[in-house]
Amino acid sequence: MISRTSPLPSPVITGLAFDEPGNAVWFATGDGHIGTWRLLGEVHTDLGTGWPDAIAVLPGVDGVSVRMVTAGGQVYVAARGRADRADAELSATHSTGLRAAAGLDDGTLLLLDGDGAVVRLRAGAFELLVDAPAGAATTAMCVDPPADELLLATPSDGGGGASLERRSLQDGTLLGTVPVPHPVVSIVAFGGGALTVDDAGTIRHLSWASGEGAGEAALPTPVTGPVARWHSLVFAASGAGITVVDWGSDTDTLAIEASLQPLAAGGWAPMTVDYDSLGIAAGDVDWIWEDAADEECVSIARPGTEGAERYEHRVLAGPVPGERTLVAIERASGKVLATRRFRVLGRWPDDEAGPPQVISGEREVYAKPGWGGGPGSPQNIRVHPAPEEYRIAVAVFRCKGSTAAINAAGAADQRRDELTRHVVSTSGDSVDRWFREVSYADTPAAASGPKGTRIRLLTDSVIGPIDVPYTFAELFSPGNAADPWGSWDPKPDTWDVLGGTFSTFVRDTPLVIGGGVTRPVMEFADAVVFTILPGTDELVTVGATTTGAQWTWAYAGDAQVYWKPRDGSTTFTRKPAVVMPAAISAGHATPWAEREYVTTIVHELGHTLGMPDLYQGPGYPGEIGERYVGDWDIMHSDVPLPHLSLPHRMRLGWIDPSWVEVCDFSKNPATREITLQALETLARTGPAAGKKAGIEIRLRDGWNYYFEHRREQTGQIGDQNLPKNAVLGTDVFQATADDMARPLILLLPNDVDGDGPVLSAAATDYEESDVTNPDRMNDFRLTRLASGPFDPTNDVRVRVEYVGAHRAELQITPARGNGHWKSPDIDIDGPSGPNIVVKGHKHRIRIRVRNAGSKAADKVTIRVGWLPFTTTPGTWQTIPSPTPLNIAAKSSATFEVDWMVPASVTVPATSGPAIEAEHFCVRVDIDRYVDPVDPTGSEIVIHNNWAQSNFNTASTAQSSPSSRETTAIISANPFPTRALQRHVVEQTGDQFRLFLDEGWRIVDAGATGTTRLAYESFAGDPRRGAQYAELFEGSQGERITSEVSVRTFVLPEGRHDSGLPGFGAGLWVRAGWRTRFEDLDVNREIVFGTIVYEHDGTRDPVPFGEVRVVAHPQDRPDETRWLNGGVTDGRFRVGIPRELLERATAEPWVFEAFYFSTYRHAPTRSGVRPLRW
């Protein structure tokens, strides 16, 4: 049996009580402290002091309290966060001393007194449950709630044995007595019987049916008080330590090493398997879960280039909390070679760092931002298109122990009506009606073009109430401790708890979608909404501490869900999700009005469709304070129920490109007059003839201004409280939004004559003409004219004029986002080819810069920096700037700079050794161009003139199984407070598996968080390998690729919103047969050798490909020469230039060959070789 002992700072004086939500045992120590020891991470936490006389420490079932029982008979209660004796409240006092205590799920306490009697404490009153024995006093007590039994151990009369009594928990009735031939100092219910501990620390199992078994395990002695149990794990205190024993017998013919650490549902854990111990290989063994043979259970990919038959596997947890047994079976004989038990958590108990995540196959969580579009058409079109039918699954959840008096079924019906019914109040508001209205879904449609969006509530109901097996306080934390009526925030793992609970609830009731076809609810849903009933109606007082009434605010994020396909396997994914109140605590002075639920759901569903918050964010500069869009867009202000601004409608695909007039003055500087039709009056056929829905003013790729006409319309539910009937100007800049420097959409700044971005009368204009402001484009004017000739009420005429300043305008194209994180203007070439970084070698970075202005720019300067793979950058490592270049008007130039990548690049790990980074990011900033002769010709538009490439090409090698490659991802917290960083990983390929060490982490102010990302193909996979092999051969490897995208959302402490999306990082991953240089020789004239690949147990020459030979002086790797050549039938020959040979006569040179990957063959490198004379 596996056991482990963890030290504590002081000896334990009580027994242990296990708290499943916290994954921890509770106890008191000899120095008077009470604390917990959490199995996950083996973490000890001190919670209070002043308890040297404690005999039991019992966590309250409410999730906020803890009860301390003393030897003198007192029972105290305190808040878990303030558990000093001075802050505790005396809740009851028993007349005699106490020896042990146990708690029940309803809050009842069972107390064992000094005489051996068992007393029940319920609702503040004591009652005798079991009389004291006539002989020696009872030595041990435990409860067995599933059996509704109380177990007592009493010394036998003589002989040193003990008698175990089974009694009813209801009335203490004796149900049976079982003698054992040894003393019993502790007892815990287990597997149709009990585990007993004697005075020598020996654990034995006693079956009620068959008696005591032969198996034993030894604990350190002396054992202090009651032991605790979680599944097959037994926890015991002895001195200053906690010992954990995995009780039970495993088959161990095949050597396996795995820790006792628990897994998260849908997560993973490492496990080392030693096939060499039996002289077999990984392909000789099948792996299954004992309870679900069709589920995937183990990744057998090899870490990196490791070739030994003893290496790390990864155990893949299933969807449901509990204990599972992993079984290894010899493929040839069917013999069981090994078994090992693993435990899956229902709730992740670490509030600082999230659980590991697995992504098996294709995954898209939700729409990603970007700007899209091309030179001749508007940008921001269908960046994250909304579907024609947006399918949402909605449930009402009730937390364990909730005392709120709300009618749960009634709340579910009300939320259903607010989602889907057209008339639910005098206003007629509903979420579905708003979406139909703002997307034009109920208007006549064109043969092609936008379709609009409707909301479909799956199952035609709000499901529930679903009872969650955790208390409100275990899933939420107070948002503002100083405000007793303030809302509570979901803990980081709450999303996955609710997603898993919802998935289990609907798992066996699939949807009928027509023609008798059924689909699992979670597979069919586009998004999920978790509405939460309040935990309490009033404030909660525990001891000296008062906490707020328990209700939650609304947030958007994503949650892990699962479903069971027909093949019996389990499919995990993450879906866009909303957490919001199903009701507000009844005692709240300002409960939400009915309409607020509608406006809230609309706003939060907007997030799930890819729209960010537009209001004030942490760290935004003060000068944009007057530019927030306010009541013009529901993503800023939802209570007035406005529609969306034009850019948001464009990005959602509700505006056809032909409806937008594009003004790119570099292509067409002509003045034009345009009729704008009020957005509220559009149909899916578009504006009427001669009219436009909006105007796009192109500043540069990814940065545009937009103008639209907005006017309230009778009979609609949205846009009924607009600030004005006006032409509205907005500023959309994706790059700075990704940099968390501003919202995606702002109002335009006020112009020089004060008309500003909201033009509500004829003859007003928006003009950028202040040449002293470097953030203005300074070359156009838009003037509102009279009303339109066709519909004076809903049409407005405007004139757009190009003023035309004669100056340079330098541009570099940022990454377009939407999962694509590489700037098209930044490329890297290195030893292994384009956009592949090899540490310890020199690379060449090529950067293309355009001058879109009308005047040449001389001596243009750029700055270049690098970081390990990053999603929210910190301080960049500098690379020497390239030589300045002259760029003519309307032309471009390419800068080149060498980058010597260090041989080792590590980033600090959360714990343990530093992580070696394998992939990198490059950023380029263009200095503002200042005309040395004419200052009025200096560059004006310089704001955030930068681009970043977070993109690398990577490969997995296979001979069976796949290799598993790993890299580090860093993400900085740019804010002055602690912040939650939540990582969202997606991929386009269905033949790869990704691993993330942590799904989220709390990061200190200004600090940088680090996690690992690993990737592997399904080559040789126990469950998916056969399909992979068929696809690989059928497509010659061309289909076995995946675009991997990682984004980090940052939520600073104290914020009530959905987090700020940072930039992203991307990998293009492909798979191929493992290759190697079989021989390599460097003589006086050529570098030559053979490259082979391994497949199906054979070795053959690669049929074709390219090699690059890297040569440099032995002591100066930065003085690199590249020599390129081709491969035919495995052979290659690359000539050595004469001048290089001449240099090599003066000092030693070394050579290394790199084989570039193909669709069927993975890349490889030869290792360093000296020049042979």
Task: Give 697-732 as a DSSP string.
Answer: EEEETTEEEEEEEE---TT-SSSSS-S-SEEEEEEE
Report the alpha-carbon distance of residue 1014 to residue 1023 in Å, rounded.
Answer: 19
Q: Are strands 476-478 and 810-811 parallel, antiparallel or unpaired?
A: unpaired
3-state secondary structure of 767: strand
CA distances (Å), origin 739, targets 618, 620, 968: 12, 11, 20
Residue 310 in any domain: the answer is: yes
What band does 982 get if pLDDT is binned at 50, 70 and 90? Answer: very high
- Per-residue pLDDT of 868-883, as tens digits, reads 888 888 889 999 999 9
Tokens, residue 740: 């968390």
DSSP 610-670: TPPP-S--TT--GGGTT---GGG-TTT--TT-----HHHHHHTT-S-GGGEEEE-TTT---
**Residue keyed to tokens 């067995």:** 144
Whether the Cβ atoms of residue 653 and residue 413 lie closer than 8 Å to each other: no
Residue 601 in any domain: the answer is: no
Greatest Cα-to-Cα distance within the chain, rounded to the nearest angstrom: 110
Residue 489 in any domain: the answer is: no
Co-location of 1025 and 1087 in the same domain? no
% of the chain surpassing 70 pLDDT: 95
User: What is the phi/psi pair of residue 1134, to 5°?
Assistant: -125, 120
Residue 39 in any domain: the answer is: yes
Co-location of 840 and 976 in the same domain? yes
Tokens, residue 532: 């939460």
Whether the Cβ atoms of residue 828 and residue 835 lie closer than 8 Å to each other: yes
| Residue where a domain terminates, one of 756, 773, 804 | 804
Tokens, residue 1114: 């032995």
Q: Are strands 527-532 and 571-581 parallel, antiparallel or unpaired?
A: parallel
User: Between 49 and 934, whose confidence is greater?
Assistant: 49
> 661: burial class by Cβ within 10 Å (0-12, 13-18, 19+)?
buried
* Reduced 3-state DSSP string for 422-455: CCCCCCCCCHHHHHHHHHCCCCCCCCCCCCCCEE
Which structural domain, as residue segments, surrounds residue 1112?
1072-1170
Give the pLDDT confidence score for residue 937 in this predicted structure. 59
Co-location of 1059 and 937 in the same domain? yes
> 1084: burial class by Cβ within 10 Å (0-12, 13-18, 19+)?
exposed
- Per-residue pLDDT of 1057-1106, as tens digits, reads 777 877 788 888 989 999 999 989 998 789 999 999 988 778 999 999 99
Whether the Cβ atoms of residue 436 and residue 652 lie closer than 8 Å to each other: no
Least confident of 249-263, 317-331, 712-726, 945-959: 945-959
Report the alpha-carbon distance of residue 1138 to residue 1135 in Å, rounded.
Answer: 9
What band does 75 get if pLDDT is binned at 50, 70 and 90? Answer: very high
CA angle 501, 505, 510 (to 5 degrees): 130
Residue 71 in any domain: the answer is: yes
- Per-residue pLDDT of 732-762, as tens digits, reads 988 777 777 789 999 999 887 889 899 999 9
The CATH number given to whatever domain includes residue 319 is 2.60.40.10
The mean pLDDT value for 110-120 works out to 94
Tokens, residue 57: 């420490």
| Residue where a domain terminates, one of 225, 246, 267 | 246
Kind and range of the H or E run holding 1033: helix 1025-1035
Report the alpha-carbon distance of residue 87 to residue 82 in Å, rounded.
Answer: 6
Co-location of 1017 and 1121 in the same domain? no
Task: Spell out the residues 6+ positions from residue 340 whose beta carbon is closer than 8 angstroms to its own.
Answer: 250, 256, 258, 271, 325, 326
- Is pLDDT above 90 for 175? yes
Report the alpha-carbon distance of residue 331 to residue 869 in Å, rounded.
Answer: 41
The CATH number given to whatever domain includes residue 149 is 2.130.10.10
Q: Which of 262-276, 500-514, 966-980 has the highest mean pLDDT?
A: 262-276
Give the pLDDT confidence score for residue 771 in this predicted structure. 38
The whole-angstrom distance between residue 538's C-alpha and the CA centroid of its chain comes to: 34
Whether the Cβ atoms of residue 702 and residue 737 lie closer than 8 Å to each other: no
The CATH number given to whatever domain includes residue 1148 is 2.60.40
Co-location of 57 and 205 in the same domain? yes
The b-or-e profile of 1094-1118 (16+ CB within 10 A means b, else e) is bbeeeeebbeebebbbbbbbeeebe
DSSP 215-266: EEEE--SS--S--EEETTEEEEE-SSEEEEEE-S---BSSEEE--S--EETT
Residue 1116 in any domain: the answer is: yes
CA angle 411, 561, 563 (to 5 degrees): 105
Co-location of 666 and 711 in the same domain? yes
The mean pLDDT value for 360-368 works out to 81
Whether the Cβ atoms of residue 135 and residue 121 lie closer than 8 Å to each other: no
Co-location of 1053 and 1162 in the same domain? no
Give the pLDDT confidence score for residue 940 in this predicted structure. 52
3-state secondary structure of 31: coil
The whole-angstrom distance between residue 625's C-alpha and the CA centroid of its chain comes to: 31
Sheet of 310-316: strand order equals 255-257, 268-274, 310-316, 298-299
- Is pLDDT above 60 for 772? no
- Is pLDDT above 80 for 542? yes
The DSSP 8-state label assigned to residue 412 in this structure reads H
The mean pLDDT value for 603-613 works out to 93
Give the pLDDT confidence score for residue 439 in this predicted structure. 97
Residue 410 in any domain: the answer is: no
Q: Number of H helices and number of E strands within the chain?
A: 10, 86
Sheet of 118-122: strand order equals 98-103, 109-113, 118-122, 125-130
Residue 362 in any domain: the answer is: no
Co-location of 1037 and 1088 in the same domain? no
What band does 424 get if pLDDT is binned at 50, 70 and 90? Answer: very low
Give the pLDDT confidence score for residue 852 in this predicted structure. 82
Co-location of 872 and 771 in the same domain? no
What band does 914 get if pLDDT is binned at 50, 70 and 90? Answer: confident
DSSP 32-91: S-EEEEETTTTEEEEEE---TTEEEEEE-TTSSEEEEEETTSEEEEEETTB-SGGG-EEE
Q: Is the pTM of this model over 0.85?
A: yes
Structural domain count of the chain: 5
pLDDT, averaged across the chain: 90
- Per-residue pLDDT of 1025-1067, as tens digits, reads 999 999 998 887 677 899 999 988 888 887 777 778 777 888 8
Tokens, residue 898: 């060498």
Co-location of 1053 and 1135 in the same domain? no
CA distances (Å), origin 581, targets 399, 436, 530, 608, 1147: 12, 24, 8, 17, 74
- Whether the CA torsion 892, 896, 901, 907 is positive or negative: it is negative
Tokens, residue 1116: 């100066």
User: What is the phi/psi pair of residue 679, to 5°?
Assistant: -55, -35
- Per-residue pLDDT of 461-479, as tens digits, reads 999 999 999 999 999 999 8
Nearest to 6, CA basis, from 35, 43, 36, 31: 43
Give the pLDDT confidence score for residue 331 in this predicted structure. 93
Q: Side-chain half-sphere of 1004: how many Cα atoms within 13 Å?
A: 2
- Is pLDDT above 70 for 376? no
Q: What type of residue sits at position 386? A: A
Give the pLDDT confidence score for residue 662 in this predicted structure. 95
User: What is the phi/psi pair of residue 798, to 5°?
Assistant: -135, 155
CA distances (Å), origin 101, targets 11, 18, 22, 183: 19, 13, 20, 20
> 385: burial class by Cβ within 10 Å (0-12, 13-18, 19+)?
middle
Give the pLDDT confidence score for residue 375 in this predicted structure. 57
Co-location of 84 and 216 in the same domain? yes
Give the pLDDT confidence score for residue 991 in this predicted structure. 94
Task: Spell out the residues 6+ positions from residue 1157 whose beta carbon is closer than 8 angstroms to its own.
Answer: 833, 955, 1070, 1072, 1105, 1163
What band does 942 get if pLDDT is binned at 50, 70 and 90? Answer: very low
Report the alpha-carbon distance of residue 369 to residue 403 in Å, rounded.
Answer: 42
Co-location of 908 and 860 in the same domain? yes
| Residue where a domain terminates, one of 804, 835, 853 | 804
Least confident of 21-30, 81-90, 403-412: 403-412
